[in-house]
Amino acid sequence: MTWNRKHLLDIQSLQPEDIQLVLDTAEAFKEFGERKIRKANILLGKTVVNLFIEPSTRTRISFELAAQRLSADTINFSTETSSFRKGETLKDTARNLEALHADILIVRHRSAGAPHFLSRVLSSSVINAGDGAHEHPTQALLDLFTMREKLGRIQGLQVTILGDILFSRVARSLIWALNKMGARVTLCGPPTLVPRQLEALGCRVTHDLPEAIAQADVVNLLRIQHERQQRKMFPNLGEYSKLFGLTIDRLNQMKPAALIMHPGPMNRGVEIDTEAAESERSVILDQVTNGLAVRMAVLYLVSGGVVPLQ
Ligand code: CP
């Protein structure tokens, strides 16, 4: 298997073999991360820029650490202290970063398609770190990596994605990825956030939480993305939580080996209560740890790294 893509812009355009390759390469990087000296010269002399025009904790830090582990020079672009504040465009900003020899730009932007646009006007590699409500490909890859690690497979798994699907780039990427890898996806939440039209993505839609979680191997929770909602999508958070929040009682109705996942940031007491988030079934922090290996793999592959990793 070979990786011949300069960019990672979305999951939709990937083949199942591409996803498999990232997961297998990430596995090698995870082992590497368990060694005493966790640094390699793979990206020595390369420059990686985190161009985040929207807030992030996990994705930004994880990409920065991944690039540092591979010995790249790393730059964290901050909108607050940049000429973005003076009206400089995204394209001009990116072209200036490229003029400073940025080899890889990792882009998070509130507008869907921003990384795709940059990939057309730059010669650097572009990685999508989340574009509006469109896609968040590395989140889906680390979610799949975690499922495969914990459950031994992806094919045939029943995965329920619960919460605000309509405004979620995480959900979109994960649905594409799970479908391509042969899992079965159920979407659950209020009808305003999980409309029937989402069945067109190849999923089952239900608004009945107990039914949605009863047979699931994985329940992946999503927060309410208030920042992308133009109007009120449900009466109040208390009612949302009562109908769709994952409590410890609801968790106990799930299959004994089922996993609880959440991409973060979590709103405790809304989509998940603390007892459920901290339970033995929760792999939420494993997802964060695995994100590092997955992002090392992605940086390695878009830089032309040969596979399998030696
Ligand atoms: N999961 C995720 O994208 O988290 P951040 O917004 O903190 O990067």
The residue nearest atom 3 of ligand 1, judged by CA position, is 59
This model's pTM is above 0.85 = yes
Q: Calculate how far, in angstroms, residue 56's C-alpha sits from the geometric centre of ligand 1.
A: 5
Tell me, yes or no, if the two domains 16-135+289-302 and 137-285 fold the same way.
Answer: yes
Q: Which residues contact 1 (CB under 8 A, 6 or more apart)?
A: 17, 20, 21, 307
Q: C-alpha angle 62/241/209, rounded to 5°?
A: 90
How is residue 35 written in tokens? Answer: 């060694």
Give whole-number Cα distances, 89 to 28, 80, 85, 133, 221, in Å.
Answer: 39, 14, 10, 21, 35
Closest ligand 1 atom, CA of 130? 3
Q: Give which of 293, 295, 222 is closest to 264, Cα–Cα.
A: 222
Tally the residues of the chain.
310
Give the model's pLDDT for residue 230: 61
Give the model's pLDDT for residue 228: 65
Q: Calculate how far, in angstroms, residue 52's C-alpha sits from the geometric centre of ligand 1.
A: 11
204 and 162 Cβ atoms separated by less than 8 Å = no
* Four-way CATH pick for 137-285: 3.40.50.2000, 1.25.40.10, 3.40.50.1370, 1.10.10.10: 3.40.50.1370
- Which residue out of 52, 54, 59 has the highest number of ligand 1 atoms within 8 Å of its CB and is therefore the one to mutate? 59
For the chain, domain boundaries: 16-135+289-302, 137-285
CA 125 – CA 299 distance, rounded (Å): 9
How is residue 41 written in tokens? Answer: 């010269």
How are strands ordered across the β-sheet holding 125-131?
73-78, 47-52, 104-109, 125-131
> How far is C-alpha 90 from the geometric centre of its chain's CA atoms?
22
Give whole-number Cα distances, 77 to 104, 108, 192, 235, in Å.
Answer: 13, 11, 36, 38
Q: Calculate how far, in angstroms, residue 4's C-alpha sits from the geometric centre of ligand 1.
A: 27
- Which residue out of 57, 65, 143, 290 has the highest number of ligand 1 atoms within 8 Å of its CB and is therefore the one to mutate? 57
Fold topology of 16-135+289-302: Rossmann fold (3.40.50)
Q: Calculate how far, in angstroms, residue 58's C-alpha sits from the geometric centre of ligand 1.
A: 5
Give the model's pLDDT for residue 273: 95
Q: Which residues contact 294 (CB under 8 A, 6 or more apart)?
A: 22, 23, 26, 29, 138, 141, 142, 145
Give the model's pLDDT for residue 34: 87
Q: Which contiguous run of DSSP H or E holds residue 38? A: none
How is residue 155 written in tokens? Answer: 């094919």
Q: C-alpha angle 286/282/200, rounded to 5°?
A: 90
List the chain pLDDT tens, one digit each, 310 residues. Answer: 789 999 999 999 999 999 999 999 999 999 988 888 889 999 999 999 999 999 999 999 999 999 999 999 999 998 888 998 899 999 999 999 999 999 999 999 999 999 999 999 999 999 999 999 999 999 999 999 999 999 999 999 999 999 999 999 999 999 999 999 999 999 999 999 999 999 999 999 999 999 999 999 999 999 987 666 666 777 788 889 999 999 999 999 999 999 999 999 999 999 999 999 999 999 999 999 999 999 999 999 999 998 888 7
Give the model's pLDDT for residue 229: 64
Q: Calculate how far, in angstroms, residue 310's C-alpha sits from the geometric centre of ligand 1.
A: 30
First-last CA distance in the chain = 15
Lining residues, ligand 1, CB within 6 Å: 56-59, 130, 136, 139, 263-265
Give the model's pLDDT for residue 147: 98
Closest ligand 1 atom, CA of 129? 3
Q: Calculate how far, in angstroms, residue 308's C-alpha sits from the geometric centre of ligand 1.
A: 29
29 and 300 Cβ atoms separated by less than 8 Å = yes
Q: Calculate how far, in angstroms, residue 134's C-alpha sits from the geometric centre of ligand 1.
A: 14
Q: Which residues pair with 282 in a beta bridge?
A: 260
